[in-house]
């Protein structure tokens, strides 16, 4: 039987009908979209190259998303 968080569990506050998302996932998504736009503009000759710091931030954001996904998946596994 799958583990179902109760309404009092901290995990249940993070669950939604669309899926499990961390609070600042919108900020990470915005940074990613900004990086994509800068890369596209640079490739078309319409802007400067993205900074190395932006790539490092994207790498950290992606690692964080994977880690949160693994943690939440383990939390929902049946015991």
Report the candidate in 72, 1, 4, 60 with the shortest Cα–Cα distance to residue 31. Answer: 60
Retrieve residue 61's tokens.
């954001």
Does residue 12 surpass a pLDDT of 90? no
Residue 58 CA neighbour count, 13 Å, CB half: 15
- Cβ contacts of 67-71, under 8 Å, gap ≥ 24: 68/20, 68/22, 69/20
Q: What is the pLDDT of residues 18-68, one digit of tens each?
A: 455 556 888 899 999 999 999 999 999 999 999 999 999 999 999 998 988
Of residues 26 and 6, more confidence is placed in 26
Of residues 55 and 10, more confidence is placed in 55
pLDDT value, residue 72: 81
């Amino acid at each position: 039987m799958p583990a179902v968080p109760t309404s009092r569990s901290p995990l249940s506050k993070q669950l939604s009908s669309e899926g499990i998302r961390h609070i600042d996932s919108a900020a990470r998504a915005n940074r990613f979209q900004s990086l994509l736009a800068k890369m596209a503009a640079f490739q078309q000759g319409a802007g400067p190259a993205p900074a190395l710091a932006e790539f490092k931030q994207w790498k950290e954001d992606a690692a964080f998303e994977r880690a949160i996904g693994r943690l939440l998946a383990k939390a929902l596994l049946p015991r």
